[in-house]
C-alpha cells in the first residue's frame, strides 16, 4: 500500500474512532442503555433527486454590495462561491447540486436540503436525515419530525411552513449513525449558506451535535439547553432533540423544550 493511501486509511480510522467515542459519550449523557438490533444490509439506493428550492413569500431585505464569498469544500469540486454575502436558498441549493463531496451520497435516496420559509425568523437545525427524510427529501418528517411539527405548531403556535428547518448534513448517514467529521466539513459551507440566506433572528439547535458544531466545542446538551448562546451574531437557543424527547417523554423534558421554544419564539418576535 502506498504511503499516501495508508495515511488516508489512518485518517478515516481515527475519524471513525473519534465519532464512535463521541457517540458513546452522547449516549451516556442521554442515559441510553439499550439498542434496537437492526437487521439486513444497508439498502442500495438510487441516485439523488434535488428538492425544489423554497420560494420566498415576502420581500428580502436589501442586499449589501456584491462581494465574492468563497469557502473551500473538502473533496471534489474546489472552492464554492456565490454572489453576495447573503445568497438566496436557490443559489446555495444550486451550488450543492447532485453532491458527491463525501461518502454519504453513496447510500442516499434524496438530498434533504431544507424546508420552510426563505425569510423565517426562526431556524431549526438538526443532525441529519433519517429513513423517512431520505425517502421524501424533506427534513423532520418521521416520528421525531411529527413531534417537532407539533412542538412548533401547538407549542409556539406557528405554522411549520413559517419557520425554516434543515440539518447539519444533507444526506442520510448509514443506519442513522452520527455524521463523521469529514461529512460534516463537506456539508458545512451549505449549512452556513442556508443560515446566511435565511438570516434568521434566532437559531434553535436540536440535540447535541448541532449545538456542538455551531458553538465549536463539545457541549453537554442536557446542561446547556435553555441558555442563550450566539452563532455569528445570531442568538442561538440549544434544546433537546425531538428523538431524545420521544425516548424520554417525561414531563420535565417536555416542559424544558416548551420553555426553550417559547424563549426562542419571543426573542425572534416571530
Ligand atoms: N433527525 C434529524 O436530526 N433530522 C431529521 O431531519 C430527522 C431526524
Q: Are 184 and 128 in contact (CB under 8 A)?
A: no
What is d(CA 225, CA 194) in angstroms, rounded to the nearest whole number? 23
What separation in Å is there between the alpha carbon of 112 and the centre of ligand 1? 10
pLDDT digits (tens, 9 = 90+) for 239-254: 999 999 999 999 999 9
178-196 average pLDDT score = 97
- pTM for this predicted structure: 0.76
Higher pLDDT residue, 109 or 78? Answer: 109
Q: Which fold has domain 90-268?
A: Uracil-DNA Glycosylase, subunit E (3.40.470)
Give the model confidence (pLDDT) of 41-73 as tens digits: 333 322 333 333 333 334 444 333 222 233 434
Query: pLDDT at position 47, please?
Result: 31
Percent of the chain with pLDDT over 70: 70
pLDDT at 83 over 90: no
Which residue do the cell numbers 442516499 mark? 108
Helix, strand or coil, per DSSP, at residue 47: coil
* pLDDT for 80: 63
Q: How many CA atoms lie within 13 A of 134 on its CB side?
A: 22
| Beta pairing class for 234-239 and 122-126 | unpaired
Taking Cα atoms as reference points, which of 230, 227, 209 lies closest to residue 263? 227
pLDDT band for position 123 (cuts 50, 70, 90) = very high
Query: Grid coordinates standing for 191?
Result: 449549512
Using CB distances shorter than 6 Å, the residues near ligand 1 are 126-130, 133, 139-140, 142, 144-145, 167, 243
C-alpha to C-alpha distances, 112 to 87, 130, 166, 170, 242, nearest whole angstrom = 19, 10, 8, 5, 18
CA angle at residue 40 from 34 to 44, to 5 degrees?
125
Residue spans of the domains in the chain: they are 3-32+41-70, 90-268
pLDDT at 110 over 90: yes
Distance 198 CA to ligand 1 centre (A): 19
Among 104, 110, 135, 144, say which to mutate for ligand 1: greatest number of ligand atoms within 8 Å of CB: 144
Beta-bridged to residue 167, according to DSSP, are: 126
pLDDT number for residue 85: 82
Amino acid at each position: 500500500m502506498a504511503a499516501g493511501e495508508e495515511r488516508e486509511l489512518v485518517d478515516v480510522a481515527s475519524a471513525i474512532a473519534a465519532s464512535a467515542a463521541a457517540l458513546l459519550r452522547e449516549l451516556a449523557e442521554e442515559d441510553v442503555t439499550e439498542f434496537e438490533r437492526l437487521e439486513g444490509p444497508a439498502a442500495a439506493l438510487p441516485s439523488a433527486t434535488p428538492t425544489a428550492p423554497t420560494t420566498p413569500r415576502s420581500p428580502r431585505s436589501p442586499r449589501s454590495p456584491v462581494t465574492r464569498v468563497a469557502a473551500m469544500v473538502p473533496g471534489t469540486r474546489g472552492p464554492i462561491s456565490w454572489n453576495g454575502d447573503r445568497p438566496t436558498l436557490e443559489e446555495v441549493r444550486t451550488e450543492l447540486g447532485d453532491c458527491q463531496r463525501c461518502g454519504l451520497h453513496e447510500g442516499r435516496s434524496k438530498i434533504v436540503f431544507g424546508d420552510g420559509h426563505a425569510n423565517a425568523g426562526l431556524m431549526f437545525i438538526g443532525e441529519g436525515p433519517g429513513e423517512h427524510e431520505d425517502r421524501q427529501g424533506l427534513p423532520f418528517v418521521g416520528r421525531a419530525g411529527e413531534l417537532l411539527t407539533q412542538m412548533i405548531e401547538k407549542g409556539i403556535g406557528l405554522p411549520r411552513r413559517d419557520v425554516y428547518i434543515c440539518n447539519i448534513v444533507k444526506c442520510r448517514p448509514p443506519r442513522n449513525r452520527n455524521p463523521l467529521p469529514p461529512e460534516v466539513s463537506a456539508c458545512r459551507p451549505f449549512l452556513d449558506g442556508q443560515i446566511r440566506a435565511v438570516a434568521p433572528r434566532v437559531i434553535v439547535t436540536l440535540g447535541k451535535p448541532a449545538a456542538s458544531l455551531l458553538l465549536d466545542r463539545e457541549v453537554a446538551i442536557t446542561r446547556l439547553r435553555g441558555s442563550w448562546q450566539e452563532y455569528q451574531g445570531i442568538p442561538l437557543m440549544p434544546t433537546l432533540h425531538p428523538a431524545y424527547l420521544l425516548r424520554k417523554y417525561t414531563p420535565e423534558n417536555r416542559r424544558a423544550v416548551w420553555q426553550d421554544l417559547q424563549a426562542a419564539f419571543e426573542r425572534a418576535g416571530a
